[in-house]
Amino acid sequence: MAKKYVYNFGKGAAEGNSEMKDLLGGKGANLAEMTNLKLPVPAGFTITTEVCTYYYNNKLRYPKELKTQVKNAISLIESQMGATFGSNTNPLLLSVRSGARASMPGMMDTILNLGLNKNTVNAMINKTSNDRFVYDSYRRFIQMYGDVVLNLKPADKSGVDPFEELLEKKKRSLGIILDVEFTANDLMELCDDFKQIIRDHTGHRFPEDPEEQLWGAIGAVFNSWMNERAIVYRSLNRIPDDWGTAVNVQSMVFGNMGETSGTGVAFTRDPASGENKFYGEYLMNAQGEDVVAGTRTPHPILDLKKTNKKIYNQLESIRLKLEKHYKDMMDIEFTIQEGNLYMLQCRIGKRTGLAALKMAVDMVNEKLISKTDALMRVQPEQLNQLLRPVFDLKEKSAAIKSGNLLAKGLNAGPGAASGRVYFNSYDAVNASARGEEVILVRIETSPEDIRGMNVSEGILTSRGGMTSHAALVARQMGKVCVAGCGKLEIDYLLKHIKIEDKPGIIIREGDFISIDGSTGEVLNGKLKTKPSEILQVLIDNSLKPNQSNEYKYFSRFLKWADEVRHLSIRTNADQPDQSKNAVAFGAEGIGLCRTEHMFFGGNRIDAVREMILAYQREGRVKALKKLLPYQRKDFMEIFRVMKGLPVNIRLLDPPLHEFLPKTEIEIKRLAELIGTTIDEIKYKIDSLHEFNPMLGHRGCRLAITYPEITEMQVSAIIEAAIEVQKEKIKPKVEIMIPLIATLEEFVVQEELIRRTAEKIISSKKTKVDYTVGTMIEVPRASLQAGKIAKRADFFSFGTNDLTQLTFGISRDDSAQFILEYLDKGIIERDPFETIDRAGVGELMKIATERGRKTNRKLKIGICGEHGGEPDSIDFCNSIGLNYVSCSPFRVPIARLAAAQAVLKK
């Protein structure tokens, strides 16, 4: 039997179903599924993705069986629709659409109204008695065909589409402005003119033969799989080239055949709030394009209840049927042709974080899905949206009503921000220094904008997508960001913004705007922001748990996650309030308490500098003595907040020069304070200068040169533990040595730590629960893990440094070429964002295996920033780590990601 390349659907029966996305693409599989569900789907067929792959592997030729299979499929449609392809009396018209496994919105080509020609046009006019509609359809078809199949559409935006050019010319000559003002006759003339354009540009006539039209369109869809924007899109979204696209050929239905026709899009639940109610828009006597064009305002779907109860009821029952069947919120497209409803598309609906959470919990309550399903329904990153500052919804609605919505861009960095507009880093930094809140507005951002982004409340760009520099950096920085807001016309020279479709409005430097990075909205003026409901409960305590539905959903959902996950979740925190927040978010300990921040507070830094400037051990010890009480107090406060949860304290890590003053004034002040000369200090600064400080005298190397620093820090830790034990708190202390590359480094420091600790403990005749371990952040330490683990109680992967060293890339210097690498597809994801499994991951695996082999009880965690990134958490789970540690606000994300990691496994 010949291989099957074509799958039919129509009249309540389909050869495919929704499980066959790989073969039929998403659109084709769901059209088949809806057909099987007896929903009114116009008959059609899907040419499989295998044909696409064959096409590219065989010099753009089709499998020989295809022609016959398509022919048979057309016959089937003809019989089901009671019309004949190319008939001069009752012609069948077709749409030809792409449809890949994964959604690639707007990336590939579509041709509608296929089958029209001189003869079928007349038949259609006879049939519809609507010559304007028919000529308009014909003119659109010729234009689409010329653009897409015959490649007359210019490759980039600066080029001119010859059809559009002619349209404009015609309008001018007729003195009209809108397309709808063309008469049937105008359109008929345009059809002839368009055909002439094709003849002039290609040297061939427009093909009147419907079959030729069909094969031209099918070829164009397959070719569009390899157009440049599709290739770029796939590389950005990590879709393999060899997946290929399917082609969906379907009989046309028209929403623009008069007032009993119409078209609409809808969601089975509210995709913003998650509420279980029908949500969508429709427009009568219109095609999909008209809804998008925005020249007419669509009506809310509920209005249909009043204007066309029959259709509404039919849609409502379809909504329920689809949800029951798919067990998820669906996004649908429908067309009403002369009072008959047709379903054109259905797919899983996109949704906000809040909606995802609410739907997941609601659907469990509705017994539609299991808790496990629910946990997989929310992307961990979506939880982030629930923690970001928000606009007051009433205030925002009022602003939108009074016309202050300027434009919508991509919701690239969730949260809400208001501030004054500045157009470059320099101005932004200065404004911020004056105490202003800043929104940095750029056409697109580059590494030179980092300083400006850093001081801004939010970032707004007119160009670039969800993976643009602005979007990536904003998410990294935790900044609100609206990216790719194409309607903004940003003028750096005049320092103002104009809005494409709002000619009267100019936003100037210093004016207030507000951006909602969770929705992409850009609003004129200043809107107040406030912490999200969940933060009001957990952090501000301005709301009680039972006063917030959001919180109830959030905590219930994460409790389910906690039941499933194996990984513990800890936090990176070195301040008592940070630690407290993290515990509120569910942190089960501190995975990384950096001690260097504690060296800066108040006048501690003076003692630190005095220590660095001392030439002898005695001088350093004297200065360190001044620091000890501060450190002890810091640790006591953290131990109190953590109430017996483990606290992992990393000994001093950065190179000493980071603590020295940088400005002349500071140097002078310091010289006076500690009684030395300015030259002396400058000499020390010079002598501590390093070419590559990342690879310099830091971490345990510092502690080996200056063991007195370790002695002071360990004394402070142990004394603090003993102090709080008097308050009935039993701290669990983990003392962590940074930057170990060799066993010997570890041993030297470990012995010093234990000696120092035991001396204090035995002098106080008490006990302290402490362990000693190390960061694994140097490739060599990974390889030597077996030896090191014999002495270490725990490992903690410092994946920031481990990534820098495994790749030989400095994070501080790489922003520029990492973006280029992403652009060019050299790397799939930024290794500083997600763990590079092949390289860094292998070293982590080696370290874990070797470490556990020699020390069965070795506790292993991760404290690099990857510890809060879902895909990295999945990896950590897969290699059997004990915990991940992340910043306090990412703890909920990590809890969910850890649960999903178990479920995925």
Whole-number minimum distance, CB 448 to its own copies, in Å?
A: 7
* Residue placing its CB nearer to its own copies in the complex, 258 or 447: 447
What distance in Å separates the CA atoms of residue 394 and residue 528, rounded to the nearest whole number? Answer: 11
Nearest to 7 by CA among 26, 32, 39, 34: 32
Cα–Cα distance, 199 to 25 (Å, whole number):
35
Among 64, 435, 691, 857, binds its own copies (CB under 8 A): 691
Q: Which is nearer to its own copies, 207 or 839 (CB)?
A: 839
Q: Does 812 bind its own copies (CB under 8 A)?
A: yes
Of 745-774, binders to its own copies (CB under 8 A) are 745, 748
Tokens of 684: 């020390």
Residue type, 107: M
CB of 425 to its own copies, least distance (A): 12
E-strand stretches of 526-629: 529-530, 568-572, 590-594
Total binding residues toward its own copies, as defined by CB under 8 A: 50
- Judged by CB under 8 A, the residue of 545, 629, 825, 880 near its own copies is 825
**The 330-337 sheet, strands edge to edge:** 299-300, 279-284, 262-267, 330-337, 340-348
Q: Give the shortest CB-690-to-its own copies separation in angstroms.
A: 4
Which part of the chain contacts its own copies (CB under 8 A), choosing from 44-52, 215-223, 629-637, 685-693? 685-693
> Is 705 a binder of its own copies (CB under 8 A)?
yes
Contact by Cβ (8 Å): 799, 835: yes
Interface residue with its own copies among 173, 297, 663, 692 (CB under 8 A) is: 692
Residue 863 annotated as catalytic:
yes
What is the nearest approach in angstroms of its own copies to the Cβ of residue 615?
13
| Block residue for tokens 């590219």 | 56
| Shortest separation between residue 830's beta carbon and its own copies, angstroms | 13
Q: Does 780 bind its own copies (CB under 8 A)?
A: yes
Q: Is 886 a catalytic residue?
A: no
Taking the least distance from each CB to its own copies, the nearer of 377 and 657 is: 657
492 touching its own copies, by CB under 8 A: no
Residue numbers 429-468 binding its own copies by CB under 8 A: 448
Q: Could you write out the three-class secondary structure of 849-888?
A: HHHHHHCCCCEEEECCHHHHCHHHHHHHHHCCCCEEEECH
The letter for the amino acid at 769 is D
Alpha-carbon distance of 870 to 835, in angstroms, equals: 10
Closest CA to 884 of 897, 297, 164: 897
Spatial separation of the C-alpha atoms in residues 606 and 588, rounded to whole Å: 35
Least distance between its own copies and beta carbon 753 (Å): 16
How far, in whole angstroms, is CA 580 from its chain's centroid?
Answer: 28
Binding segment (CB under 8 A) for its own copies, from list 298-306, 506-514, 591-599, 835-843: 835-843
What whole-number distance in Å separates Cα of residue 141 and Cα of residue 656? Answer: 71
Interface with its own copies, residue 701, by CB under 8 A: yes
Residue 124 CB, nearest distance to its own copies (Å)? 52
Using CB under 8 A, which of 237, 807, 878, 879 touches its own copies? 807
**Considering 52, 469, 481, 700, which one is annotated as catalytic?**
469
Q: Residue 285 in contact with residue 255, Cβ under 8 Å?
A: yes
The site string for its own copies over 784-803 (x = CB under 8 A, - otherwise) reads x----------------x--
Rounded (10°) CA dihedral 467, 472, 478, 482: -50
**Minimum distance, C-beta of residue 616 to its own copies, in the bound complex (Å):** 16
Backbone angles phi, psi at 390, to 5 degrees: -130, 160
Q: CB–CB of 560/875 below 8 Å?
A: no
Q: What residues contact 401, with CB distance under 8 A and at least 6 apart?
A: none
Interface residue with its own copies among 346, 741, 897, 898 (CB under 8 A) is 741
Q: Hey, which residues between 837 and 896 contact its own copies (CB under 8 A)? A: 838-840, 842-843
E strand or H helix that includes residue 282:
strand 279-284
Q: Is 711 in the site for its own copies (CB under 8 A)?
A: no
Query: Which helix (H) or strand (E) covers residue 886, if one does?
Result: strand 883-886
What gap in Å lies between CA 351 and CA 382, rounded to an integer? 9
The nearer residue to its own copies, 261 or 814, going by C-beta atoms, is 814
Q: How far is the CB of 423 from its own copies (least distance, A)?
A: 18
Rank residues 615 and 691 by Cβ distance to its own copies and give the closer one. Answer: 691
Counting contacts by CB under 8 A, is residue 615 touching its own copies?
A: no
Q: Looking at 593, 863, 876, 886, which residue is catalytic?
A: 863
Distances 84 to 74, 75, 76, 861, 900 between C-alpha atoms, Å: 9, 8, 10, 67, 51
* Catalytic residue list: 469, 863
Residues engaged in binding its own copies (CB under 8 A): 448, 687, 690-697, 701, 704-705, 739, 741-742, 744-745, 748, 777-780, 783-784, 801, 804-810, 812-814, 816-817, 820-821, 824-827, 836, 838-840, 842-843
